Each structure stands twice: as C-alpha cells, then as structure tokens.
A and B are shown apart, each in its own frame.
Chain A
Amino acid sequence: MKRAFYFLLTALVILTSCSTPKLAIPEQFSSVSERMHIKGLNGWMINQKLTFGTYKTSKVKRGWNTKTTRQDKNSDITSEERIMKLFNVTNTNTTSNQKQKYQYSIEDGKQVAEVFCSERMTSEELQVFTNNRWLGDFSQTKNYQYSFTAAILPMSVKEEPWQLVVYNNYDKKKDTARKWFDLPYVEEEGMATNGKDTIQIKPLRVKNITSKDGKERQFPVKILGGYELRLDDGVIGVIDSMGHALWIYKELDEPTKLIVASICSALMLRKIQDVNG
C-alpha cells in the first residue's frame, strides 16, 4: 500500500509539472564530463535500437518475458498470518518469478562489444481475502529479490569479458521503515568487473531534480534518479534514468568509455522494473 502511495505521488508530481525531470548533476562533475542524450527508449519497441553520443546499439533481441506464480509451502510465518489464522481470515502465500533475457551489440565506430543481459525478480506475497466488499482483498510483499546481470564481451583480443550485477533485496522482517514517508529498507548494490578492474554502480536516490526550464524542484520522498559509476573511488559516469542521459567523464580511455556505455544501455533497456525503481 505504501509503495502504491509513492507511485501515485510520484506520478502526480511528474504529471502536474508537465516537464521531463532530470537529475541535478553537480557542477564539479558536469564541467569535466560529456552529456549524451539516449534516444530510442520510448515509442515502438520492436527492433529497438539505442543511440547516444557516438554510441549506437544493434537491434535488441529480446526473449520472452515470462512470469509464473504458485503457492509456496516454504514461507516464513509472520505475525499478520498468526492474527489472520485466529480471525479465520483466508490467506495464501504466493511466490512469483519473472524473467527476461536480451542481447545486442554496441559500437562507437571503432570498437564493438556484445552485451548479454538477464533480469530476474522473485517476490513472495501474502494474499488476504477479507470477504468484505468495503475492505476488499489485498496483498502484502513479504520479500523480493531482484537481480540484473549482464556479460559484456568487448570484441578486442586484449580486453577481458566484464560481468555486471545489480541487485535489490527486500525482506519485510528486516524493514526499518515505520513512518508514512519512510522508504522501505532495500539492500541494493551493483558492480561490473573484469577480474582486474571493478566499477561500482551506486543507485542515486534523490529529492532534488531539475525541470525542463532549468529550475530545481523537490520531491517529498527520495526516488530513484539514476546510477553513479565509480572506478578507483572516482566518479566516471552518471546515468540519468529520469532524463534519459549518460554523463561520461571526458578523460576516460576509449575502451573504458565503451564499457560505461554498455553498462548504461544494459541498465536502461531493462523491462522488469524493481519495486522501488
């Protein structure tokens, strides 16, 4: 219910402002980086291609987006379930699995990389049937595990393959959110590595955004605005998922820029959204 509220609130703020919000990038980083607007994220999704800056992807080949739901006997017993059992309220535990795979290649005219991606979301819900027309039936998320993983294979003899992982893990029993505007406690982490170098991928949850007219606005709650990419403790890129843009550090070498562009395109092409995202 809380998440539904956040969703409605976010949608309302976006709709009333009537402009595409963007991530507010600090001057220190924007002055030394290049902004590339990502085209191809909206509209017709068949034969989808992305272009940004000098980078362009091939047609994105997608597998089936499958979702299965079934009851699961291996489930933690919550206090809610104990109470419902006492009050003879019908409830069931269901586990749903959603998966999708896609692949494409990305190039900048000189270098090419093949990108293979896989997304998976498993969530366990408590479904309650109140048999009351005013209250209706409702469900509550007990836990979910969202993981996005990709293999980036640069088509160069010298380059090692990169593995990318971004995940979110939520467990209601470990949630620290108590107040109305508290965000649920979600453990989230991301990284890409080739065994030698590691790029840390940190989700950016922001309140301040920049509207199309350049004015700074504030959301009542923090929302996922994008991702910050760090290499050797220095920021090398920022993915603005609201403004559909990639900010990339100008001084990076070309092979690393290609990896950053691959990470950005792989993340932006996801279809199974995490609950907070």
Chain B
Amino acid sequence: MKQVLIYILPILFSASVEAQVQKAVHLSPQKIGGGSLFKKNISFADFQTKKLRRSIGSFFSKRAIIPANLLKIEGVPLYHKEKRTSKDYFHFDLEQDGDFAAYVEVQAIMLQNETFRLFSKKDSSFFGKANTDLLLGSIQPSADTTTWWEIAAWNLNATKQEAQQGIIKQSDKEITFEKNTLLLRENGDQNSIDTLFSTLYMAYQFRYKGETIAAVAYKENDRLCWIKKGLDQSVQTAVAATISILRLRRNIYK
C-alpha cells in the first residue's frame, strides 16, 4: 500500500505556471572561490568575505511533539503534522580590493507547518502554504554608516510553489532579485573565443531600475556570478553583499 501511494499521490499535486527564459548576456561572468568545508569565506571579482560567523542555534531546530503523528497502519501515516522552527543567523565583513566595504548581518527563519491527512482532501498547508520562510538582513556600507541597505527575501528554501525572491532597499533605491532561468555568458576573458558562448543557468537575477544588473548561480556546482560593469559604488556593494548572502546561506528546510 505504501509503495502504491508513493506512485499515485504525486499525480494529484502539480501546478502549471508559464516559464520564460530571460537573456542577460551583457553581464560579465566572475568565478566564485571558496565556500568549501575548509574555506568558508568566498571571493568573487574584487570582493571577498571575511570573519564569517554563524550562531550555534543555526545548527539546531525546534520541533513540536505531536501525539497524533503516531496514528499509523503498517507504516502508513493516517495523520501527520510537522511543526518545526529552524534558523540561520550569520554575519560577515565584505571587503573590496582588500579594503573593508560593508558589514553584513543576516537572520533567516523557517517555520514549518505542514499537515497531511490520508483520508481527506489535502489542504494548502501540506503544500507548504502555511510555512514561513523569511530572510532578513542589513548591509552597513563603510562609505556611509548612517544609511544602511535592508534586505528581505522569502521562499529561498523553495518549500512553496511561489517565486523565490527578495528586495534590497535603501531610502529611494530599490533592487529586486528573483530565481529565474537565464541565458548568460560562460567566460569573460575577451581574448578567448568562449566569450561568444552563452549558456542557460538557474540563477538569482538582480534588477535595478528595470534592468538586469547582476546574477548569481543558484546551483552549488555552478560557482559563477555575473555583475554589470560600471555600476554605482553603493549599488555594487549592496549587490555583492547579497550575492555573498545567497552563496553563504544554508538550506534550513529539514
């Protein structure tokens, strides 16, 4: 019965949304170094992160004990409720060409609230609708310590069938980012023929004043980011800090 259900149930849960590949071949690609088990800090273009610290609480999660979860027949659950709180708090310094550029603080929280009932219609909470998946952060640039950039992002752990997106804001400046499939250049070396090649990547696309100004690969394997040349210094720092956040954050859906 268990195996039969595994095959049948997924057929009922699917949604259709229109897809669209975006083209951003004007951005110059940059390799991302570090971010490994032995070198946590990352570096890309002129930027590098330093003093990355994560709170101990980020490695644990809190889960509610729900007695009804014991209702099972031959391993098949009749009812299951998952209530769990996970978080990821971290901060780091961002340096540009060896000089301190910004201090970045991030708080990500995931409140999981999923309910499964075998013999009744699956409610929206089972699809992650009732989950709270939020990332909040602040970027304090060294150039102007009085004006901070604020970051808010949601659904970065992709538990909901909604866009994975966020916003970076400083008074009247507003940069948005969203996960998309983008056509991007593979190589930025002007002396190489590869600079004429464009490839599809799943990436977070950064938009400022209606224009794509940067992107960072979504997949861990694709260690690349793309930044438009000649950006305003303040915008460039905010984008570089957010790229670092997106690469350094942990997936906190358990």
Point out residues on A near B: beta carbons under 8 Å: 68, 70, 72-80, 82-84, 86-89, 95, 97, 116, 118, 120, 122, 128, 130, 132, 135, 143, 145-147, 149-151, 161, 163, 165, 167, 169, 171-176, 178, 185, 187, 189
Contacts and interface: CB of A to CB of B under 8 A. Distances in A.
A198 to B, nearest CB: 13
B198 A176 contact: no
B221 interface: yes
Contacts of A167: 21, 183, 200
30 contacts: A72-B219, A72-B221, A75-B158, A76-B158, A77-B128, A78-B10, A79-B13, A80-B6, A82-B114, A87-B5, A87-B77, A89-B2, A116-B196, A116-B197, A118-B194, A118-B197, A120-B199, A120-B200, A122-B222, A150-B197, A151-B196, A161-B196, A165-B183, A167-B183, A167-B200, A169-B181, A173-B14, A173-B17, A174-B19, A187-B20
A84 B75 CA distance: 12
Given A95-B221, A173-B17, A145 B159 contact: no
Interface of B: 2-3, 5-6, 9-10, 13-21, 75-77, 80, 114, 116, 126-128, 157-159, 161, 181, 183, 186, 193-194, 196-202, 218-222, 250-251, 253
B221 A143 contact: no
Contact of A122 (B19, B219, B250): B219
Given A161-B196, A169-B181, A174 B127 contact: no
Contacts of A146: 200
A95 to B, nearest CB: 6
The 10 closest A-B pairs by CB, nearest first: A79-B13, A145-B200, A151-B196, A76-B158, A80-B10, A147-B200, A149-B197, A174-B19, A176-B16, A147-B199
A175 B127 CA distance: 17
A175 B16 contact: yes
Given A79-B10, A82-B114, A175-B14, 9 more contacts: A73-B250, A83-B9, A86-B80, A86-B116, A135-B3, A145-B201, A147-B183, A149-B186, A169-B19
Nearest to A189: B21
